[in-house]
Structure 1
Amino acid sequence: MSSDFSAPGLKRHKRKNGPDTLYWVARADLVKAGYRPETIRLPYSLDNADDLPLISAACMRFQAEMLEWSSGRREDRKRFDGTIASLVRCYQVDEASPYSGQKWNTRRTNDHILKLIEAAFGERNLAALRIGDFRRWYDRAKQPKVPGGPERIDRACKIIKMLRELFKYGVTAELPECQRLRTILMEAEFRQAPRRRTKLELEHVEAFVAKALEFGEVSLALGTALQFETTLRQKDVIGEWEPIPDGTAATGIVLNGRRWVNGLVWSDLGERLQLVKDTTKTGQTAAHDLTLCPIVMKVLALIPTDRRIGPLITDPASGRPYAEFVHTREWRRVATAAGIPKHIWNMDARAGGISEADDAGAELDHIRSAAAHAQSSTTTRYVRGTIGKSRKVAELRLAHRASRNKA
C-alpha cells in the first residue's frame, strides 16, 4: 500500500475465515448530532491494488458529504421532501421523535431495519403509495435468503412494523400523507411469523452444565443454571455493554468505549443466597431463594469464597464479563458438544423454566411473579408445549364425573 493512500473514515473488520470487511465510518460526534448513515460497507479489498483508488475515492466522497452536512446543512436532513427516505431522516433527527428516547440497543436494531427500508424503497413518494405497494414489499422481504430456504416472515413483519412506526411519527409531526398511510397499515393484516416453540429443558440444562464444567467453563454453567432455575433474562444474568455517553467519566468495567451494566454481581446473592434484583426490561423485582435451585447450588459449590467478588459471570479468557457476541459463540460451542440441537438457544432457558413451572401445576400468577413479568399475558407466551394445566383440568373433570356417579 503506497504512503500517499488516503481513505478517511476507513475501518477494517478482521474475519477468521475469508477476507477482511471494509467500512467507512462517520465521526462519532457527528453521528450523535444526527448524521446518517453511521457506516457504509465497501465492496473492495485492501489486498487488491486495483481496489485502492476505489476505496480512497469512496471514503473521500462519504467524508466530504459528512463534513458538508457538519458545516451547515444539518437542517436539510430535517426537511421533509415527501419521500420515505426523508421521512426516515426526520424520524432519526427530530428531537420530538420517539427515536430520540430509545435505548442504544433498540436504536441499533431499528437502524438496521431503517437501512433496509431506505435501500429498498427510500425514493418512493408517499403520495403515490397504496396497499398494493406494502403487500409487494412484504412478499419481497419474506423471500428465502437462499433458494429452497425458509421464508423470512419475521424480517418482513419487522419492516411493516417499522413503516407503521414511521407513519405514526409522521402523523404527530403533521407530515403530509402519513395519516392516510398509517390508517392503511393499521387496517391491513400481514401473516405473522409463528411463535417460537422451542425451550431449553431440564435434561438440556443438566447436559450443558456437565459439559461446561468438563471444559472448565464454570461461568457458562452457572449462568445457564441461573437462567433456567430463576427464569431471569439472559441480560439480567450476564449483563450488557452500553455506550458511555459523551462527557461521562469512563468508570466501572469498560471495554472499547462501553461500560458493563445490568448483570449479576456476587453481592446480589446475599449471605443467605437470597437473590433479589430489579430487572432491566420491566423494572419488576425478581426474588429467588437459590438454596432451592439444586443445579445452581451444584455449580456455586465449585467456586471458592475468595473468588466471589465483582461480576458473577465472567469470561475465563479475559477475567471480565463476556464481550458482546463472545458469550453466544462460547455457549453454542459447549451446547453443541453437549448434544443440544442448534435450533435451541441460550435465551430459551427462560421459556424452559417457565414451562416447567406450568407443567408442575404452579398457578399462573405465581409463575408471573417469579419471572418478574408485569402481566400474566406475557407469562403465557413463554409456556411452550406443556400439559400441566390441561392435566389439572382433566383431573377435575374426572373427579366431577365420579361425584355425579356417586349421587
Structure 2
Amino acid sequence: MDYRPALWDGSDPLYAPNTARTKDWLYWKPTKKFVDAGFPKIPRRLPGRIGDGNDAMRAQLAREYTREMLRWFDSAEPKIEPGSWKHLIAAYLTDDFSPFQDLKENTKAEYRRNMTRWEEAIGTALVRDGTLPEIKGWQRAMATNGRSAAYQKRQFTALRILISYGVSTHFEGAKAAEDVVRKIRVKGVRARAISPTEAQIAAIIKAADDAKDHMFALGLSLQWWLTLRAVDVRGQWLAGDASGIRKNGKYWADGLTWDMIDRDLTVLRKTPSKTEEVLPDELVYDLMLVPDLRRRLADISNENRVGPVIVQRNGVPYSKRRWATLFARYRKSAKVPNHIWCMDTRAGAINHAKRAGASHIELQHQANHAQASTTDRYIRERSTSVNKVIQLRTRTG
C-alpha cells in the first residue's frame, strides 16, 4: 500500500491511514502484508466517537500507528515467515475471531505456554512440510528428552487445537497436517485412583479447626458436602482488566460470594465456573441438609457477610497455591497420607455419594457434569463395584 506524503509531513491533518469505522468508533488496523510478517494483528480503537469534533486527533494517532508499523518492518528484527508454524501460532493467539479469545484468562495463560513451547521447537518450519516422519519425530524427541507422557499429551492436544484453527482459516498446509496428526497416537495419562474417605476429610477439617483456621475448615467443608471444585469455593486470581476485587494486576473471580446465600442461610445458589457455558442454570443447594455447614456460616458476623465468603484474615481471597499449602499442612497434622491431594476432595465426595447409594444420574447432577463420561472418570472404587457384582451374582446361584 502506498501512503500519502501527509503520513510523514502532516500536510493533511485529517489523513487517517489504515482506519475502518465500526458503528460510532474508528479503529486503526495493520495491513495484511505486515501481519503476515509478524506485526500484531489486534486492531486499536481510536479514542472518542465519530462526530465528536476530534477527527484530527484520531487521524494523528492513526498516522503515528502507521509510522510505528513501517519502522517495525524496516528494522532488523526477524520477521515471521508466512506459512510457518510461528505464523499460524501468532494468528491463533491474536486474531479477534480466534476461539482463543473466548477462553478464560487462566486458560489463555496455559495455552500461551503450550504454544510458546511449540514456537520455540518448530516455529521456523513451514506447516505444509509437516509430514508423518516429521511430526512423529517431534513426539520421539519429547520422549528422548525425558518429557513425561502427561507433557506429550498436553502438547499434542495443543497442536491439534492449533491445526484445527488453521484448517478453519484455510491456512496453507493445515489440512494435510491435520490428516497426519490423526495417525499419531499419543499415550494417554492414567487417571488418578485416589479417593479420600469421609474420615480423612473430617480429620483435615478438624486439624484446621484446631489451628483456629475456621475459614479453611469452612471452605473444605463446602467442597466436600456440595461436591464443589476448590475454585468455585475460594475463587481464583486472573490476569486482566475486569473490575471488582483486584490485587497485583489481577482480578478475583469464580468463588462463592455472600449474595449467593440466602439471608437465613437456608439456600446457596451457584453456577459452577467450569460448566457455566454448557450448563448455565445455577445449582440450588439446601443448606438445611448440612447443619454443621450452616453453623459454620452462621459463625460469621453479619457485618462480614459481604463479598467473597472464603477470605484470609486480612479479608483478601486465597490464591490457589496458598489453599493447597494449607491443605498439605492440615493433612500432615491429621496424619492423612501425603498422596491425598486437595484436588482429590471432589472425587472423594462423588465416591462417598456412590457408596451411599446415589444413582449414576444423581452423581452426574451433583457433580454438575455435562457428560456422564466425565462423572465416570471420578469413580475411583471400580474394584469395589466389581466385587459387589460378584457377590450379587453368587447369591442368585
- Which of 392, 397, 400 matches 2:393? 397
- Which of 274, 284, 287 matches 2:284? 287
Q: Report the Cα distance in structure 2 between the residues aligned to 1:32 and 1:330, rounded to whole angstroms.
A: 43
| Contact 1:254–1:260, Cα closer than 8 Å, also in 2 | yes
Q: Report the Cα distance in structure 1 between the residues aligned to 2:202 and 2:145, rounded to whole angstroms.
A: 35
Q: Report the Cα distance in structure 2 between the residues aligned to 1:84 and 1:371, rounded to whole angstroms.
A: 39
Between structure 1 and structure 2, the one with the greater Rg is: 2
- Give TM-score, length-normalised by structure 2: 0.73
Change (3 A) 1:112 1:396: same
| Contact 1:286–1:369, Cα closer than 8 Å, also in 2 | no
* 2:361 matched residue in structure 1: 365
State the 1:350 CA deviation: 0.7
Change (3 A) 1:198 1:392: closer
Q: Report the Cα distance in structure 1 between the residues aligned to 2:268 and 2:374, rounded to whole angstroms.
A: 22
| Contact 1:139–1:156, Cα closer than 8 Å, also in 2 | no
* 1:353 matched residue in structure 2: 349
Provide Cα deviations, 1:177-231, integer angstroms capped at 9, x if missing partner: 1111101112321111111222332122112111111222212111111111111
Q: Which moved more, 1:375-384 or 1:197-206?
A: 197-206
Change (3 A) 1:338 1:68: farther
- Which of 209, 217, 220 matches 1:224? 220
State the 1:264 CA deviation: 0.9
| Contact 1:358–1:386, Cα closer than 8 Å, also in 2 | no
Q: Secondary structure at the match of 2:275?
A: coil
- Give TM-score, length-normalised by structure 1: 0.72
| Contact 1:359–1:386, Cα closer than 8 Å, also in 2 | no
Change (3 A) 1:32 1:123: closer
- Which of 314, 317, 331 matches 1:335? 331
Change (3 A) 1:32 1:90: closer
Q: Report the Cα distance in structure 1 between the residues aligned to 2:78 and 2:368, rounded to whole angstroms.
A: 42
The answer to whether the aligner puts 1:111 opposite 2:112 as a matched pair is yes
Change (3 A) 1:273 1:311: same
* 2:305 matched residue in structure 1: 308
Gaps of 5+ in 1: 1-29, 36-66, 146-150, 402-407
Q: Which moved more, 1:180-189 or 1:381-390?
A: 381-390
**After superposition, where does 1:3-152 map in structure 2 within 5 Å?**
33=42, 73=73, 81-142=82-143, 152=148
* 1:321 matched residue in structure 2: 317
| Contact 2:85–2:119, Cα closer than 8 Å, also in 1 | yes
Q: How large is the Cα RMSD of the aligned pairs?
A: 3.2
Amino acid at match of 1:314: V
State the 1:77 CA deviation: 10
* 1:383 matched residue in structure 2: 379
Q: Secondary structure at the match of 1:325?
A: helix
State, as a whole percentage, how many aligned pairs show the same letter: 28
Q: Secondary structure at the match of 2:273?
A: coil
Gaps of 5+ in 2: 1-38, 45-66
Q: Secondary structure at the match of 2:238?
A: strand
Change (3 A) 1:319 1:118: same
* 2:245 matched residue in structure 1: 253
State the 1:319 CA deviation: 1.5
| Contact 1:79–1:90, Cα closer than 8 Å, also in 2 | no
State the 1:308 CA deviation: 3.5
Q: Report the Cα distance in structure 1 between the residues aligned to 2:192 and 2:319, rounded to whole angstroms.
A: 27
- Which of 271, 276, 280 matches 2:269? 276
State the 1:170 CA deviation: 1.2
